[in-house]
Chains A and B, each alone.
Chain A
Amino acid sequence: MRIVVPIKAVPDLVEEIDLAADETGIDREYLTFVISEWDAQALEEALLLKDAGGAEVVAVGLADDPDIDQLLYTALAKGADAAVKLTGAGAAGPSGPSGTRTADRAALLAAYLDAQPADLVITGVQAADDLDGQLPSRLAALLDLPHVSVVIGVEVGGGSATVRQEFAGGRSHELQVQMPAVIGVQSARQAPRYAPITRIRQAMNAGGLSELAVPARAAGDGLVVRRVHRPEASGKAEMMTGSAGEVAGQIVGLLRARGLVKG
């Protein structure tokens, strides 16, 4: 069984995000990029399937994504069997406000998967910046494959996958899906495994990251970004100042006034 896991580099949201001067995107120059957290969950779910019954897991990224080599080597260090970097995106730079837009990303991945089909495509249900929609169902639509998103567990057997699809309030559906299929993972059955830096270095030294040019398909008209801006400071929260002890005193006062702290 061949499982392809598309992964995406996104800005590390722990950091402050600066906007580009023309206000049509973010300033990517000084940002740190990390694997989209849902893609990390998807990779874990794919590796769990490999652990359980054997599968070839291939991590695939776009050459245009910042720091993508590091992310793909990390995937190899975690247990992926191969890592591929796709080129062929527009050389003019990112097509969306913070990177390659989903429509173009999906078109490249679809071209790759047409040439090298997978039994399962497992990727993150969403990314923090997929303004023009989520990758899994767009990719499935281009490939005419069945798809299920917001998945919290995948099992495979007899040519089909059994997946748990999650809804609000802890409700879920168990669906049986014919393979090949595209699955959008919300969370893996266990927390993503950790790859020690020494093993990532080993993976880098061993090479193992291949580059592949794919013909880009036309992605159709996308959104027209008029401008990006920060949320207006609603000024709603009254900010408490002072030492930790003083602020703690204010908070306990608020709780006591509502009878939520006795005494």
Chain B
Amino acid sequence: MSVNVMVLAEHTDGQVSDGTYELIGQARALAAALGGVTEVALLGRADLAGQLGPADVVVCVEHPALEEYVPEAYERALLEVLAQRSPRLLLLSNATIGLDLGAALSVHWDAPLAAYVSALEIDGGAVVATAQILGGKVLAEVELPGRRGIATLLGGAFGADLGAAGAGPEVVHVAPPAGLGALRMSLRSVVGPDGGDIDISAADLLVSVGRGIESQENLETVQELADALGAPLSASRPVVDAGWLPKSRQVGQSGLKVKPRVYLAFGISGAPEHLEGMRRSEMIIACNTDPGAPIFGVAHYGTTLDLFDLVPELVDKVRG
């Protein structure tokens, strides 16, 4: 058992993800507090180790099944890495890969897991996580008991560490486990984003709607405002899952990350997954009837007026 902190690197098309650097930044702070080092597990693409300057050690596993993310392949390879390196703590993204692997690793590696983590600290040797639950309305401060633990971290909640550790990380290789040759799943194809629709990530101004819109018919009201402003209509996940707007208009963790000059949010409460996608907007103006809505924690201006009262007035004023 070491006192090191390990991060699972995520990569797409040969690029280590921005979120990975956020994980490494947090891992470095924790490793310093524990007196350990920062290790990064890099699966399938040892050639990307050069992008992981801020890590102390990069642990590579090479196998054809690991070239793209396949849940079972990653799980088996990572369990092998965990068995050999025995870190004190494993940090994963609270996005697809963390949601996919976290709880299974918790069972197989026999370590407690905290999800939706927005802050982590070492308190007298104990690992203490703050998790945002119930759509960000409640924070839970939890201790991960025992000698190892797993945390899945919300994107955007931690600063990215782009610094390089002097001579660059030490690169070590772990032999691929035999289980990679007998997987119960295989990758058939990689599908890129749908093209053709407006690119909301390129807009200067976004008019965005959430659950508070209540019905598809009500979208017309907000569409009218978007038209008057010449801005695209975007949405949080519930609106897209209901089929009221296409996926290409979704802002958030499973949609697109946007940073327009102004983001107008109507009826969006501000679940962590949504905030991750828009908190870097230059200005955020939020309208939500719940004064406790988390969206007001990132907005610059807010109002608790009913959107159905406010939006028609906005349309009138914009049209002059």
Q: Which residues of A approach B to under 8 Å, CB–CB? A: 10-11, 13-14, 16-17, 19, 26, 37, 41, 97-98, 102, 106, 125-126, 128-138, 140-142, 146-150, 162, 164-178, 181, 184, 186-187, 190-191, 220-231, 233-234, 236-241, 244-245, 247-252, 254-255, 258, 260-261, 263
Contacts and interface: CB of A to CB of B under 8 A. Distances in A.
A229 B141 contact: yes
B310 A131 contact: no
A260 B133 contact: no
B72 A261 contact: no
Contact of A252 (B71, B103, B318): B318
Nearest to B109: A141
B115 interface: yes
Nearest to B185: A177
Contact of A173 (B69, B136, B302, B304): B69
B112 A231 contact: no
B185 A184 contact: no
Ranked nearest first, the 4 interchain pairs of A and B with the lowest CB-CB distance are A170-B193, A133-B103, A141-B107, A237-B302
B12 interface: yes
A54 B261 CA distance: 50
A223 B141 CA distance: 10
Contacts of A164: 191
Contacts of A263: 320
A191 B238 CA distance: 10
B134 A129 contact: yes
A190 B242 CA distance: 8
A132 B106 CA distance: 9
Interface centre among B133, B211, B294, B313 (most CB of A within 10 A): B133
A174 B112 CA distance: 30
A19 B184 CA distance: 44
B181 interface: no
A154 to B, nearest CB: 13
Contact of A126 (B69, B99, B185, B298): B99
A37 B236 CA distance: 14
A142 B146 CA distance: 20
Contact of B317 (A172, A173, A190, A252): A252
Nearest to B128: A226
A175 B316 CA distance: 50
A216 B132 CA distance: 28
A169 to B, nearest CB: 6
Contacts of A16: 290, 292
B138 interface: yes
Interface in B191-240: 191-194, 204-205, 211, 229, 231, 238, 240
A134 to B, nearest CB: 5
B60 interface: no
Interface-centre pick from B140, B194, B314 (highest chain A CB count, 10 A): B140
B133 A128 contact: yes
22 contacts: A126-B99, A128-B133, A134-B115, A146-B71, A146-B185, A147-B71, A147-B104, A167-B12, A167-B69, A168-B95, A170-B192, A170-B194, A171-B190, A175-B188, A178-B185, A190-B243, A221-B146, A223-B113, A229-B141, A231-B132, A236-B299, A248-B317
B254 A249 contact: no
B28 interface: no
Interface in B74-105: 95-96, 99-104
A38 to B, nearest CB: 9
Contacts of B101: 137
Given A224-B142, A228-B139, A13 B113 contact: no
A239 B304 contact: yes
B137 A130 contact: no
Nearest to B133: A129
B187 interface: yes
Given A128-B135, A224-B142, A254-B262, A141 B108 contact: yes
A166 B316 CA distance: 40
